[in-house]
Structure 1
Amino acid sequence: MITHCVFIRYRADANDATRDDIYKALHGLRPRIPGLTGIVIAANSSPEGLDKGFSEGFIVTFRDAKARDQYLADPEHAKVGAMIVAAAEGGIDGIFVYDLDH
């Protein structure tokens, strides 16, 4: 299983409608990708204060690396990615991504 984690440091002017559009588009990828088993989207709720400004994020789970790779290559994923980059503080610098293979 692959757990794909994405955390976003949004620009101050990225309003709720912008965020909702991103998350709706993200959910729209689920039926396109066989092996995409779940999507969780939430704001940071950690009391530790170590978020470094990454206020929200999402986790996408995949059955295997093949499904994750199909997601990464999907043209609709590229559109969602562009929406995220446009809304993030500093563009790509406002996004933190890592995958766990377990």
Structure 2
Amino acid sequence: MAEVKGIVKHIVLAKFKDEISEEQIDELIKGFANLVNLIPQMKSFHWGKDVSAENLHQGFTHVFETTFESVEAIAEYTAHPSHVEYANLFVASSDKLLAVDYKPTIVNL
């Protein structure tokens, strides 16, 4: 197994509050995506809705994946004023959140 050098993934699972409309969720997603333009440490952003047939989502409905070059870059992103401002809106709109950071590893078979 080999760790992928220079890549750290930040995964956020979310379930939005029932009173948050689809339009509001769309705006929150656009705001999250726009952080790539505001925070240099953030290298990419992807998102999607749960489509698992296993039904193990534990109520989480949305997945957000961002890419950074280091654990330190995630810390800088987390402290960045644009992230802090956005996170306050995101957290206030969320019923459940889970965040995980990891370094991808390639399995050589």
TM-score, scaled relative to structure 1: 0.87
- Tell me the amino acid that sits aligned with residue 42 of structure 1: G
- 2:49 touches 2:61 (CA, 8 Å); kept in 1? yes
Q: Which residue of 1 aligns with 2:107?
A: none
TM-score, scaled relative to structure 2: 0.82
Q: Which residue of 1 aligns with 2:100?
A: 98
- The total of aligned residue pairs comes to 98
User: What SS does the aligned partner of 2:43 have?
Assistant: strand
Q: Which residues of structure 1 form unaligned runs of 5+?
A: none
* Pairs within 5 Å for 1:1-102: 1-89=7-95, 94-102=96-104
Q: Structure 1 stretch 17-26 or stretch 27-36: which is displaced more?
A: 27-36
Q: Aligned-pair distance for 1:46?
A: 1.1
